[in-house]
Each structure stands twice: as structure tokens, then as C-alpha cells.
Structure 1
Amino acid sequence: MNKKPLTESDSLYDHLEKMSTIELLKGINEEDKKVAEAVEKCIPQIEAVVNAIVPRMQKGGRLFYIGAGTSGRLGIVDASECPPTFGVSHDKVIGLIAGGDSAIRKAVEFAEDDLEQGWRDLQSNDIGELDSLIGIAASGRTPYVVGATKHARAHGILTGCITCNQDSKLAEVAEYPIEILVGPEFVTGSTRMKAGTSQKLVLNMISTSVMIKLGHVQGNKMVDMQLSNDKLVERGVQMIMEKLDIPEEEARKRLRRFGTVRKAILGVE
């Protein structure tokens, strides 16, 4: 009999339906504490993929995430937050999900089981050799993701992956595998929990580190952020005040004149 994958292994807790609310919450929290430690063990693998991605993006390459279900949604969330946070164009970091955009809100049955569709979706976005691909699948065996990653690597595209099982098919086909071994879920097999949290943490680390290395942060400030609401405008004003040591009204005038925090600080149109 085949051994269960780690993501499918039995919860360390049982009779959940008989637990009080406080017992449930404490149990979930106890398991969540293990996630950051599991991610910490993967830092060398995360470092390797970041250092491989940066020079390609410096030459004009893009970063793609591809996944199904929770994994796909997490990739889309991370990609969608890069333009407002770092001021990059919406086609610089791209998230793809099995079943297309409609699957972001509602699961599309069996979409993840097509071994060829992921590569077709990447081709429709004109993926090329300067681009990088991160396949995301907690199980490490999702056909949509495995197939896309295998094809991409065969076409000379940099490939990484984020999975929560050891020695998976996805890790086998990716050049830069990241295996976050968070252990059994509180609810057996519910990988939207610890596995999903770990994937979100690693995606944060990859995109943030890449964007810092591409020059979109100065000091510790998001100088290229899009000023898309009043809160961000006020943050921008504060950043200019602090950097240039000028009064609020002068900082506000500079921001209105130059349009971005970076340009306001540098004083260039």
C-alpha cells in the first residue's frame, strides 16, 4: 500500500466536531505556529530562485505563477498586488489559474486534471526564455501545474515550484523546487490551511525580494507605489516629508507636481 502524501496525512487532532470553539481555535493556532518554521528551512531554496529570477527580469522578463484552486488563487493575489505596491505594469507579474478567471471565485470541475492546458495558457501569454515560472501545488502532483512546468523548462524557461510534499512530480520537473513540509492539516487534507499559509509566505518573500532587487524600494519605502486612494496619497506625502525634511504642504505640492513619490524626492519630471 502506498504511503499517504504528507498533505493527506491524518490530522493530529480527532473528534473535531466535539470540540468547543476555544479548543478548535487553539488547535488551529498551534498548527499555524509550525508554518513559519517550515518556511525558514526553505530559505536557501527561496534564495536560489530569487537570484535566478532577478537577472532575467532586469532584461525585460516577466514572472508567471501557475496553480489550481487555492494555490492558483494565491498566485493571482500576489501578482495583482505587485502593480499597486511596486508601480510595475500589470503584465510584469502574471498569475494563472486552472479553469481561467472564473475559477478565482468558483471552482471549475476537473480543470486541474488537464496535463496540457497549463502550457496552452502560458503560450497564450507569449511566455518566452526571459520569463520565469513558479508552479504552485500543495500536493506537488496537480497535472495542470506539472504539465505547464515541464513544458516551460523544456522550452528554456526558468522554472521553480512551491509544494508541501517531499519528492513530488512537480519538484522533479522544476529547476528550482521549494518544498515546505508543514505537516498534517488540522482538518485532514484541507491544504487551504497550513499549506496555503506557507505558500502565501513564500510568494511574499519571492515577489518582495525580487522587486527590492529591481530597485522599486528605497530604504524601506515603496517609492514606486501607485497613488490609487487617499490613504496611499497621505503615505506618499509622509514619505516625502521624511526624506526631504520639508513641511507637509510643500511635500503635497511636490507630489501633485511630479506624480510619484520617487520623482517628487528626486525632483525630476
Structure 2
Amino acid sequence: MPILTETFSLSSGHAIPKIGFGTWQIPEGAEAYDAVAEALRVGYRHIDSALAYGNERSVGRAIRDSGVPREEVYITTKLPAEIKDAKGAREAFETSAANLDLGVVDLWLIHAPWPWQDMGSDHRAGNIEVWKVFEELHAAGRVRSIGVSNFDVEDLESLASGTEVTPHVNQIRWFIGNTQPETTAYCQDHAILVEGYSPLATGKLLEDDRLAGIAGKYGKSVAQLSIRYLLEKDVLPLPKSVTPERIAANAQLDFDLDTDDVAVLDQLSNAVD
């Protein structure tokens, strides 16, 4: 699957594989280990985790045991959303680095601009304080690239007002019907790569007959069509599965969508729940 060897270029100067394997909601232990091991076996070279997922140890062990050279695997993890102080950020990074046990972290993200239990609350000062730790660890070479997740334009502009390094990545919820056009355009105008999590809308897209009709033209599944759409928009998809057949199928994206079909999917963007 050649698409698994293709990369996007980050403003940090590093390359990132165009498809990532997501591990959200995959429990620590055999389930996370086996899923990551299978993803690596079929050719994924980009694994996305987070301290809050609770599965970093299994993710790191699967990578170490895979036989794939460390330099060929791109690993992302995230600072928990509720941590908004420098001391907490440094401690969390050391925890993640120890859990993964992979040396340098390729990408570290602020998981959200606010704690999950208080979404929308104002933590602009805390995000700036935390980001300065990100800049410090990036400058020290302990993290190759740094970024954010779930930040909108206002959050990004607030961060820029008190920091030096523009985030290299913004990981946001992104799928047909939820393309966050304002945030996406801002990021692409500021050389911030957009990563899209939940590219299948946690499965909701799979039952859409309109998408099934388009996918059928290419001999592909709705899942494959939906993930490919992100790549057509220069958004990095992060599909997730624990089923070996689906792990492989989600990366079978070596096809291009016709311009007319992309336009139809664009029009569906506000019509899919």
C-alpha cells in the first residue's frame, strides 16, 4: 500500500506519514498491543496515542517488539487536557516518555484548550504557560514537533499572542459533514497541518446511502471513501480499529476521487450528522 509510505512536510522540518493509526478508546493491555502490532505489520508507520488514553505502555511495547526500526515509526502522544501549568506539563511529558520508552517523541500535542469536564472555559493563560514548556522540550530535541488538538481559530490566535513557535499540527474532529472550514483554512494558511480524528464520525457515516453510491463507483467501501476524502483535502486521517481486516482496509487508499465526486462530498459537508 504505497500511500502508507507517503508523507506530509511539517513546518518543523520533519516529515509525518500521511495516515496515522488512532488508539483512542483501545484499552491498555493485549487489545492495544495487538491492534498496534497489526497496524505495524500491515504497513502503518504512524501511531497516535495520548497519556489520557491510558495505553502508552502497550503502544510503546508493540512498537519495540515489532521489528520495525524505531526511526521508521512516527509516534504521537498528548498532554492531558486538564493540565494547564508548566510543572504539570513537564511531569506529564516525563510520564509519557517513560511509558512509551521509545526515546525522542515525534509529536507532542496539547490535548484540548480546556479540561474535558469544563469545555469552552477560558484557559488562555494556562495554554501559553504550557506551550512554553513545549517550546523548551522542542528546542532541547526531546520532541521533534509540537502541536495542539481541538483548538479553534480563537484558541490558536490566543496562543500565538504569547509564544514563539507556531504549532506544527492541529488535530481536530474532521469528517464528511464536519470539516471545520474556518479552523481548517486558518491552519492551512499558517502552515499548521490539520489531522482529522474520527474520520468515520465514529461509524455514523457507514450507513449513509449517498456515500455508499459514490464509494461503489470506485469499488471501495464507505470507510475507504470517507478516509480518502481527508487526503483529498490535505488533512491527515487517523482511522482506528481493533479488527485486523478493517485495520488493513482503512489504509487501502491508493485511489483518487474525481473532482465532481469531491464537489458532491463538499456539498454534503453540512448535511451529514
TM-score in same-fold range (> 0.5): no
Larger Rg: 1
TM-score norm. by structure 1 comes to 0.30
Flag the structure with more relative contact order, 1 or 2, with Cα contacts below 8 A and sequence separation at least 6. Answer: 1
Where is the strand percentage greater, Structure 1 or Structure 2? 2
TM-score norm. by structure 2 comes to 0.30
Where is the helix percentage greater, Structure 1 or Structure 2? 1
